Structure 1
Amino acid sequence: MAVRVIAFSAACVPIYLSVSAQNANSTQGPAAAQDTTSWIRINQLGYTPQGIKVAVWCAKTPAPAATFALHDAATGNIIFQTSTSKDFGAYGPFTHTRRLDFTKFQRPGAYYLSAGGSISPVFRIEPDVYKGAADFCLQYMRQQRSGFNPYLKDSCHTHDGFTVYGPMPDGTHINASGGWHDASDYLQYVTTSANATYHLLAAWRDFKPVFTDTHAANGLNGSNGLADILDEARWGLDWLLRMHPAPDHMFNQLADDRDHRGMRLPTADTASYGRGLERPVYFCTGQPQGLKHFKNRSTGLASTAGKFASAFALGASLYTNIDSQYSALLQQKAASAYALGVKHPGVCQTAPCGAPYFYEEDNWMDDMELGAVMLGNLTRQRALINQAMQWARQEPLTPWMGADTARHYQWYPFHNFGHYELARTQPALQPAAMSYYRQGISAVWEKARHNAFYRGIPFIWCSNNLTVSFAIQCNRYRQLTKDTRYQQLEQACIDWLFGCNPWGTAMVAGLPANGDFPQDPHSSFSHLYNYPVNGGLVDGPVYGSIYGNLIGITLHNGDEYAPFQSSLAVYHDDFGDYSTNEPTMDGTASLIYLLAAAEYEAMPTSFTYTHGAITRADTTRRQLALVFTADEFANGVPVITRILQQYHVPASFFFTGRFYRNPANKAFIQQLRHNGHYLGPHSDQHLLYCDWNKRDSLLVTQEEFCTDLLQCYHAMAQQGITRQQAPFFLPPYEWYNDTIAAWTTALQLQLINYTPGTLSHADYTWPQLGKQYRSCNTILQSIQAYEQQHPAGLNGFILLMHAGVDPRRTDLCWDGLDKLLQYLRQKDYDLVTLLELLRYR
């Protein structure tokens, strides 16, 4: 296989240089001679300007490499030069290794590195290096669909399946069609599918702006009004529902290793299980299973039940305003699955048949923890949150972290999402939950810090999946705690996946497009028909000892990475190596979450936050939003509505629940809706959340807060306004603290508040308040003064006023709203709703 190494012409046009297989991983730069004894490994996707930027120099012979240089790719000029790290010594095939840290350099552009006689490929430093990567990987998920396969535009495995081990007679037909094939074989497991579904749902919840809508629900081209990742997650949810058809019935597996009989497309599957085109569906018994020579070591149902519960509960929360009936069904299934897990603790492993390989999952408390916290958040049952924390205390550390080896999928999922969900939604539990994350990260760091690649993850089967999950744990820990001490370790995992590894290859098919990535993966799609498996994350390197003991591996096209193999670890880009080069569905789903996090973090931060609430949008865009609030008074609504309509200006209105419920306001509300204004919640009873003088002192409990806010949404629903249409919440009295912001986030909402600096919000005051009182003229002057005195003017402003005031105020500012609008138009401001100002998708 020829490897494409990127160089650039003087005009910065990319040139792709073919390198022979013998020197496949020799680096090359402009006008540079090849050095076949040392190499520089980089992240081929590139680096973000504000992010960690490290490459690794590695050599087989001694060379002077105390310094390194960063070169402009167009001119070759050195533009940054500094010292390398210490020599970390031998690693894998290399005798000398050093880290090349150029984090301090932040100028966007195309560059290459030189050190110790070697030159790296060209790479980019840009904010958008991860842009579209998560969506790209969805291609592989669509290609793995069972039932209707949009890649092949044909259907497969539509006769699934017949039951085994169930309380019903063996051979009973159930509808188990759908879902995803697990890897390049066509087996399907709840174990991996539920975990994959959860990652997809969580990615959409946490990083909505990075995802697009270019495919229909069936996976074919064409938008359907929902992000593609949500379509893909629903494909997983629908299959999981079929695998949990009744409260006391759960199935865990579809087909078995009789599948492994040659390479063929799923639409031409010839594997026989003695029932024509039907395949066996394994009922969850909690006892050892295996129909032929080998059996698993199952002890209960909780590992599978917890995974069901967490995926269903998260799906229910996200579909509340998209498909309420579907959401209710998912909630029901989450509760029944969780109940089975409580009743039957223990692990429910996948079943082998004629070969000894299966997913040897030995832990289950992590699954029940995640199921409990997600179901508890969904139903607001404190007992479930308490139960989740009990599970967390019993398994604080995912056991593979810090270990040198483990059996296949012995500790799965590879990181505990339950700790994150507890910390994210329960502020009081965050210190404990994040201490568990830190414990695992520290255990890996103790191993990683001794080598230049910062590699502390064991080279067991699916080591890339472990790498992705560990990077997610590092990322979520850093984002929640703001502790950056492990950020280089986190980035080293991402860099490893995209080429900063001994082999110098990315581990994702087709990504980056002009990089060195798997081109001969263990897949029928690529092997038989040369169809790309774009976006698929391959298993990754394994210990040489593991590779040497595997059954049925033969390399068919030589080993282009032969110079970089070692007893430590091997990796082959050859379809014959199912241990290192087979794409996996669940690993790809996890990677989608990680890449979405990376893209989201690199997006320009244009919002201003105060105590967790957005208080100003992008200050580079000449946009602002007019916001009006009201509780008991509505005397300004008719005038405000008329003037806004006259000037064709959209605005955003936040009303309390009692405002929405007041029959006298119904006509106003419907007119505002008809005119295209945003309508949102302002609490139900206009509660004061925290002390005026001691902001951190709460005056409400989380239950009181949630109940009150959701009652407001209920009142809005009676007016035809859904939560999906109203994702922003403006707190009563415009007074709140960080805890209120966290509770708002836990409800899948975004807290916002007005932009400080003007007196617009003082239009509610009346003369008897003394010094607090502000006339309308004073208020207008404050707005104009701010606009004139600040370089960014009112860009990104959330300009708050009141739609109703106490009758004791006779100077009514809405009477002069037209003057404000005329001034803003003269200054060329674009007035938009909050949905547009905050670019909500």
Structure 2
Amino acid sequence: MSEKRLRTIAVNQAGYSSGGDKLALFSWDTPRYHIIDIASGNVVFTGQTGANIEDKPSGCRVRSGDFSALTSPGEYRIEGAEGEQSAAFFIAEKPYQKLQRGLLKAFYYYRCGVELDGEYAGAWGHKACHLAEGTVIGQPGLRQDSSGGWHDAGDYGKYSGPGAKAVADLLLAWELYPAAFAGVHTLPESDGSLLDVLLECTVELDWLFKMQESGSGGVYHKLTTAHFPGLDVMPEEDTGELYFSPVSAAATGDFAGVMAMAARIYKPFDEAYAARCLEAARAAWSWLTAHPHVPGFTNPRGITTGEYGDKVDSDERFWAAAELFRTTGDEQFHSAALELAKLPFPKYSFGWGDMGGYGTLAYLLIGEAGTLPSLYAELREGLLAEADRLLRQSRHDGYRISLLEQDYIWGSNMLVMNHAMLLLAAEHFSGEQEYAACALDHLHYLLGRNVLGISYVSGFGEHAVMHPHHRPSVGDHVLEPVPGLVVGGPDRGLHDEYVKKHLRRKPAAQCYADHEDSYSTNEVTIYWNSPALFVTARFNC
């Protein structure tokens, strides 16, 4: 039991599907509970909890309460035997449609270089920002356009690799679950001819074009000021000199992969744009083949913003080769993918540093008939084996997710959602529904079914995060934070001063602080939102 004897009734605060399974999780030994209809005040369900699970990551003995028999749409709250209360939650046929729209709209709020006005931004608008040209480090006197794209995180840096991951997640979500994106028009550009998800991705893709070095095809690693601005500085007030950091192999591989993907996806809608994407991807691939051995990226002297260092680039090269082969059918890319697949890098990971999972998905989505059968079988079997491992871990976890105690790291919620992505990929290639059910458990965790009973998505849930480490949310002086942002979540390493002071000796899953100073647990990023959107889209089809 944790030192404060938490009594949390944890639910998915976004809600549950009327006809689906519904579990609440209790962090203490309580035998029974009841559910109240908030509108009427009536008790509509009484239930018994199950057996205890000793859950080391949370420090609690967890019991579950199954209320799947409650199917009537409405808003509810659970009460324990001694008056303990859950957050409010909904039951609806499609409970995650607003959530998906919010997760996608968050990318609009991340936009750089344009004014966000009241009609579309509500209370969270700001003036156009970061319009100045940037200096290319290592090339004296060279300055070039740097505007556009998405701010990466709680600061205003823009990074090629993480941006590519975020776009890839969104494009994959549309490719696998297109029905989930129909009829959504929430952007200034929405006109019904191109879905919002594809319109929003072009914002980042158009900026990524600017990150490709003219003449060489290589891609600059990042674009930032020399140092982070203060936490209350609004985007338009961040006027420090902008710097393009040098080309890196990791950034170039990610760029080639996402541009090849975009070329395929946008071709039915805009052939000229698709051709531009493919030309850029081929140029990046030419740079990669001309530079087979490149040192990992480190920050240039005088730059202290996020490094996103990556010493291994074989995973990014594999993604680039597989994606180019899928898009073009060109055997040179197939041969390259076959050779790269022999190297020992993680092939089922979707993190910004380990991108091999995207290459695996690209190859498998071609289909067995268009690939080398032995590699196809190897990658498919490996993917399913990894999904089975996550499934086993989830079954032994009190909160039904796949994180072990040591997995509560900086950005643990990215792991939660990336694991859910992998489980859904396993469902796609196997047809087994248990993978999807496990992925949904991960979404439940993100939306409040965790030991702290907090929704880790701003604006979604009665007890949602309120104080993210996000400069616009701090500097705009609006009470509510920018909505739809996924925060990093518990980090047992206690990597910032606030949590070192306030969370010492806490169990791993409780090492979270909803405070603007806690950048290691409460910052936001585009590549935490993107896998959450992918997972949510699956359950909106």
Distance 1:230 1:568, change over 3 A: closer
What are the superposed Cα offsets for residues 583-625 of structure 1, whole Å, 9 maximum, x if unpaired?
A: 112211232222222212xxxxxxxxxxxxxxxxxxxxxxxxx
- Of residues 128, 131, 146, the one that matches 1:155 is 128
Q: CA deviation at 1:39?
A: 2.3
2:535 matched residue in structure 1? 594
- Of residues 323, 329, 332, the one that matches 2:276 is 329
Distance 1:563 1:87, change over 3 A: farther
1:189 matched residue in structure 2? 159
Secondary structure (helix, strand or coil) at the match of 1:537 reads coil
2:378 matched residue in structure 1? 432
What are the superposed Cα offsets for residues 501-531 of structure 1, whole Å, 9 maximum, x if unpaired?
A: 111111111124xx21111111222222234
State how far apart, in whole Å, the 1-side matches of 2:41 and 2:305 are: 57
State how far apart, in whole Å, the 1-side matches of 2:537 and 2:315 are: 24
1:808-819 alignment, distance < 5 Å: none
- Of residues 341, 357, 360, the one that matches 1:419 is 360
Secondary structure (helix, strand or coil) at the match of 1:226 reads coil
Secondary structure (helix, strand or coil) at the match of 2:106 reads helix
Amino acid at match of 2:441: A
Q: CA deviation at 1:448?
A: 3.9
Amino acid at match of 1:282: S
Please tell me whether the aligned partners of residues 321 and 333 of structure 2 are also in contact (alpha carbons under 8 angstroms): yes
2:433 matched residue in structure 1? 484
Amino acid at match of 2:108: R
State how far apart, in whole Å, the 1-side matches of 2:504 and 2:213 are: 52
Distance 1:388 1:426, change over 3 A: farther
What are the superposed Cα offsets for residues 674-711 of structure 1, whole Å, 9 maximum, x if unpaired?
A: xxxxxxxxxxxxxxxxxxxxxxxxxxxxxxxxxxxxxx
Please tell me whether the aligned partners of residues 396 and 436 of structure 1 are also in contact (alpha carbons under 8 angstroms): no
Distance 1:111 1:132, change over 3 A: closer
1:208-219 alignment, distance < 5 Å: 208-211=178-181, 212-215=183-186, 219=187
1:377-526 alignment, distance < 5 Å: 377-395=326-344, 397=346, 411-413=353-355, 416-428=357-369, 431-457=377-403, 458-512=407-461, 515-526=462-473
Please tell me whether the aligned partners of residues 360 and 410 of structure 1 are also in contact (alpha carbons under 8 angstroms): no
State how far apart, in whole Å, the 1-side matches of 2:467 and 2:429 are: 39
State how far apart, in whole Å, the 1-side matches of 2:380 and 2:409 are: 26
1:144 matched residue in structure 2? 110
Distance 1:133 1:64, change over 3 A: closer
Amino acid at match of 1:280: Y
Please tell me whether the aligned partners of residues 141 and 589 of structure 1 are also in contact (alpha carbons under 8 angstroms): no
State how far apart, in whole Å, the 1-side matches of 2:67 and 2:338 are: 41
State how far apart, in whole Å, the 1-side matches of 2:270 and 2:6 are: 60
Please tell me whether the aligned partners of residues 308 and 334 of structure 1 are also in contact (alpha carbons under 8 angstroms): yes
Q: CA deviation at 1:313?
A: 1.1
Please tell me whether the aligned partners of residues 541 and 571 of structure 1 are also in contact (alpha carbons under 8 angstroms): yes
Distance 1:125 1:360, change over 3 A: same
- In the alignment, does 2:152 pair up with 1:179? no
1:126 matched residue in structure 2? 92
Secondary structure (helix, strand or coil) at the match of 1:259 reads coil
1:687 matched residue in structure 2? none
State how far apart, in whole Å, the 2-side matches of 1:339 and 1:592 are: 33
Q: CA deviation at 1:436?
A: 2.0
Distance 1:107 1:367, change over 3 A: farther
Q: CA deviation at 1:93?
A: 5.7
1:799-838 alignment, distance < 5 Å: none
1:538-687 alignment, distance < 5 Å: 538-543=487-492, 546-547=493-494, 549-550=495-496, 553=498, 565-566=506-507, 569-600=510-541
State how far apart, in whole Å, the 2-side matches of 1:377 and 1:357 are: 32
Amino acid at match of 1:436: G
State how far apart, in whole Å, the 2-side matches of 1:108 and 1:163 are: 56
- Of the two, which has the highest radius of gyration? 1
1:223-242 alignment, distance < 5 Å: 223=191, 225-242=193-210
Please tell me whether the aligned partners of residues 189 and 350 of structure 1 are also in contact (alpha carbons under 8 angstroms): no
Distance 1:350 1:516, change over 3 A: farther
2:9 matched residue in structure 1? 40
- In the alignment, does 2:297 pair up with 1:349? yes
- Of residues 242, 250, 255, the one that matches 1:279 is 242
Distance 1:305 1:224, change over 3 A: same
- In the alignment, does 2:290 pair up with 1:339? no
- Of residues 1, 7, 24, the one that matches 1:55 is 24
What are the superposed Cα offsets for residues 626-664 of structure 1, whole Å, 9 maximum, x if unpaired?
A: xxxxxxxxxxxxxxxxxxxxxxxxxxxxxxxxxxxxxxx
Amino acid at match of 1:155: A
What are the superposed Cα offsets for residues 461-485 of structure 1, whole Å, 9 maximum, x if unpaired?
A: 1111121111111112112211234
What are the superposed Cα offsets for residues 397-435 of structure 1, whole Å, 9 maximum, x if unpaired?
A: 45889xxxxxxx78434x712222222221355543232
Distance 1:321 1:456, change over 3 A: closer
Q: CA deviation at 1:310?
A: 1.6
Amino acid at match of 2:450: N
- Of residues 54, 58, 62, the one that matches 1:89 is 54
Distance 1:221 1:539, change over 3 A: same
Structure 2 residues without counterparts, runs of 5 or longer: none
Distance 1:116 1:471, change over 3 A: farther
What are the superposed Cα offsets for residues 109-155 of structure 1, whole Å, 9 maximum, x if unpaired?
A: 54444556444344223221011322222332112212113244632
Amino acid at match of 1:156: C
Q: CA deviation at 1:247?
A: 5.0
Give the RMSD, CA atoms, in angstroms.
3.2
State how far apart, in whole Å, the 2-side matches of 1:371 and 1:171 are: 32
Of the structure 1 ranges 331-340 and 419-428, higher mean CA displacement relative to structure 2 is found in: 419-428
What are the superposed Cα offsets for residues 699-757 of structure 1, whole Å, 9 maximum, x if unpaired?
A: xxxxxxxxxxxxxxxxxxxxxxxxxxxxxxxxxxxxxxxxxxxxxxxxxxxxxxxxxxx
Q: Which has the higher contact order (CA 8 A, sep 6+)?
A: 2
State how far apart, in whole Å, the 2-side matches of 1:64 and 1:516 are: 22
- Of residues 226, 247, 252, the one that matches 1:305 is 252
Normalised by the length of structure 2, the TM-score is 0.85
1:259 matched residue in structure 2? 228
> When you count helix as a share of all residues, which structure comes out higher?
2
Amino acid at match of 1:598: F
State how far apart, in whole Å, the 1-side matches of 2:297 and 2:81 are: 50
Secondary structure (helix, strand or coil) at the match of 2:54 reads coil
Amino acid at match of 2:512: Y
Please tell me whether the aligned partners of residues 257 and 355 of structure 1 are also in contact (alpha carbons under 8 angstroms): yes
Distance 1:599 1:237, change over 3 A: same
1:286-301 alignment, distance < 5 Å: 286=248, 301=249
